[in-house]
Amino acid sequence: MTQFCEGPSEARSPDSREGQHVALLMANLKGGGIQRIMLHLARALADRSHRVDLVLYKAQGEFRESVPSAIRVVALETAPRWMGGLHAFRAAPEHLIQLAMPVLLPRKSHGALRCLPALVRYLREERPAVLLSAEPDLNLVALWARRLAGVSVRTVISEHIHLPSHLRYGADRRKWRWRFIVPLIRRTYPEADRIIAVSRGVADDLRTLGGLPPELVTTVYNPVVDSELAKKAEAPIDHPWFKPGAPPVIIAVGRLTEQKDFPTLLQAFAQMRAQRQARLLLLGEGEMRRKLEALARELGVDQDVSLPGFTSNPFAYMARAAVFVLSSAYEGLPGVLIEALACGCPVVSTDCPSGPAEILEDGQYGRLVPVGDPAAMAQAILSTLDAPPDRGLLQKRASLFSVDHAVEQYLDVLLANRLQVRIRTLEPC
């Protein structure tokens, strides 16, 4: 049974930009960038008197306690793998060949597929005006669920990652089913009412990879900077590295995964550490923790490297750090880079696909270095320490990525043309 964890339940308002029922489909509430962005959006929508559901297939994670009481958390029941696959086939029998390899044949299915039956029931029972999803698996499931539910719900999907890079370098590349996901995306994504891409780079590659009509894809920068960020940045921190007279602290924030390429950052830090005193603070948690700790010892910098884990307030550290470094192999639009700018922290970033070059205006607001180049990264960090930019200028740049600005753009996409919702009615399951 689908669990309605908390939050108000009210009658739906008439179609307008006022008081709409908006459902945000997410995997979980773990401390990742997508979750942080979707929570920003959920809060902003609720503040504008919209009824907001966070629809999850795992109602757990570090951000669970950060969900305001005005937002309802809906935990979808997971069905057996075969039932999820059957629902996917019933939703798109004409795509049997494309469904077979990535969806029907794998022995272990993605959790999103297993929540498909429950999502169908949710759409039929709750009938939200709008459904917004993020991530490829959830985007596919959202579109299939609308087909099966046979209800008029405007379905908007969003891509937060650079899909070609994710398919080539991401952890999912080891799962052979992902090699066959692109044909399914090409067949299914065009059914969305709109597709939101979080950067121009993501939009361009999504149009090319997915063969999508240009007018279907809209670029909307993530809602990142809000009034709470400035308050959190001023919060006190109890850490000996930030005492007056201590060596400068280099900071990085993110999940400890291959995508973030923290090994390159550690190698760069070791090279720059040979030239001047500094310390490196990695805020985040993930499966690469032990490998990173071992690499720090191997490089001889473990006494100057700290991995304290996840924190719900990295901004207080950013505001006091000398340099923030984004070392990722790929991104979509890295909100953490924008957050560092908003805290007035000088930044160094890889020129990865995609987002950093757009955020930093091709290097005007922070140095860009090639992906996987520790020597270039070390030199960029040293140069930034020697000649830091004006912090006020960085904060002004970050203000272009405010929650208020992004939410207005999201509302234009989510609530526009409600009478033009695409719908294909199927027989009840």
- Tell me the H-state helices in 259-327: 262-273, 289-299, 315-318
Q: What pLDDT does residue 8 have?
A: 46
Quick one: CA dihedral 27, 28, 31, 36, positive or negative? positive
pLDDT of 25-66, one tens digit each?
999 998 777 888 899 899 989 999 999 999 998 888 888 888
pLDDT of 203-256, one tens digit each?
998 888 888 888 999 999 988 998 899 999 999 998 899 999 999 999 999 999
pLDDT more than 70, % of the chain: 86
Residue 310 · residue 285 · CB < 8 Å: yes
Low-confidence stretches of the chain (pLDDT < 70) are 1-17, 97, 100-110, 166-179, 417-429
Give the C-alpha separation, 423 to 380, whole Å: 52
Residue 51 · residue 71 · CB < 8 Å: no
- Assigned CATH topology for domain 227-401: Rossmann fold (3.40.50)
Give the C-alpha separation, 37 to 401, whole Å: 11
Q: What pLDDT does residue 182 have?
A: 81
Q: What pLDDT does residue 179 have?
A: 63
Q: What pLDDT does residue 10 have?
A: 41
CATH number of 3-223+405-420: 3.40.50.2000
Q: What pLDDT does residue 9 have?
A: 42
Q: What pLDDT does residue 33 have?
A: 79
Q: What pLDDT does residue 429 have?
A: 38
Q: What pLDDT does residue 107 have?
A: 57
Q: What pLDDT does residue 5 have?
A: 56
Give the C-alpha separation, 145 to 131, whole Å: 10
Q: Where are the domains of the chain?
A: 3-223+405-420, 227-401
Q: Report pTM.
A: 0.80
**Ranges assigned E (strand) in 262-356:** 279-283, 305-309, 323-326, 347-350
